[in-house]
Amino acid sequence: MAKETQQSRRERYLTFFLGEEQYGIAIDQIKEIIAMMKVTNVPKAPAYIRGVINLRGSIIPVVDTRLRFGMAQREVDMHTAIVIIEVQKINIGFIVDRVEEVASIDAASMSEPPRFGNHIDGDFISSMAQMEQNVVMILDVVKLFKDEELFNIEQIQKKD
């Protein structure tokens, strides 16, 4: 019985790797995962925006997640994937090194993110989860681009 109640508080996350670090994003924010495809460079755009892709007829921006997190850029290999995230009706692609799995994470194993020593601004991370040997950093996608007004621009336009 006890186990069942615990299970009902489990949530599912897509986990992926950037280098050695494992990250997770709530599954309901993920639209799809596609293989790396041709990205058209957009001149004068911020460096971490790699460009735009043609996702079956609609043009969506693609972010180099490594650059966004201040990591070094990396050659594309067969594991490189684009995770398409949909937040507030906006689609954005995130280039990641390798998609791992869809994991059910128990809410009980979640903890507050530490406030120290990561090259990632702690704001992006909503919580840390312990998964067997690994620690998964759960990303808050909305906060991720708050500074860059990716989402705010949309909101401002709606207010007009």
Partner 1 sequence: MSTKQEQLKAIFIEEAGEIIEKLDVDILRFEENPTDFALLNEVFRGVHTLKGNANAFGFSRLGGFVHHFEDVLDHYRSTKESIEVEILELIVNSVDLIKETMTCELDALPTLPAAYESNLEAIKALIAFKKGKPVEPTATTTAPAVLGDLASEFGLGCTDQYEQLLTQAATLMATTQEGDERIWRIDLTLDSDSYRRGVDCFVFIALLGEKAKGIESVFDCEKIPALETFVCDQNFMQHIGIVVLTAQSRVEIEENFEFLEAHEYRITPIDAAPKVETQAVAVAQAPVEATTAVASSAKSTIRIDTNKLDELFDSVGELVIAQNFIAQNEKIHAIADESIGRTIETLSKITKRIQDRVMSLRMVAIRDTFDKMKRVVRDTSKKTGKALHLNVLGEETEIDKTMIDSLSDPLIHIIRNAIDHGLEADSAARIAAGKSVEGTITLRAFHKSGSIVISVSDDGRGINKAKVLQKAIAKGIVTADENLTDSQIFALIMQPGFSTADAISDLSGRGVGLDVVKTSIEKLRGKIEIESVEGQGTTFSMVLPLTLAIIDGMLVQAAGEIYIIPTLSVVESLRPEREIVHAFQEKGEFISLRGQHLPIVRLGAYFGHEERRIEPWEGILVCVETEMGRIALMVDELVGRQQVVIKPLGKALARQREISGGAILGSGDIALILNIDALSPHAIEMSHA
* Cβ atoms of 12 and 29 closer than 8 Å: no
What minimum distance in Å lies between the beta carbon of 115 and partner 1?
A: 28
The residue among 33 and 55 lying less far from partner 1, judged by its C-beta, is 55
Q: How many Å apart are CA 27 and CA 56, to the nearest integer?
A: 21
Q: Are 151 and 145 in contact (CB under 8 A)?
A: yes
> Between residues 85 and 136, which has the closer beta carbon with respect to partner 1?
85
In terms of CB distance, is 40 or 73 closer to partner 1?
Answer: 40
Q: Do residues 12 and 24 touch, judged by C-beta distance below 8 A? A: no
Nearer CB in complex with partner 1: 39/103: 39
Residues 62, 66, 127: CA angle, nearest 5 degrees: 100
Mapping DSSP to helix (H, G, I), strand (E, B) and coil, where does residue 97 land?
Answer: coil
| Shortest Å, Cβ 114 to partner 1 | 29
Residue 146: CB minimum distance to partner 1, A: 13
Give the binding site for partner 1 (CB under 8 A): 38, 40-45, 49, 52-54, 56-61, 63, 90-92, 145, 148, 150-151, 153-154, 157, 160
Q: Least distance in Å: CB of 111 to partner 1?
A: 31
**Angstrom distance (rounded) from CA 55 to CA 109:** 36
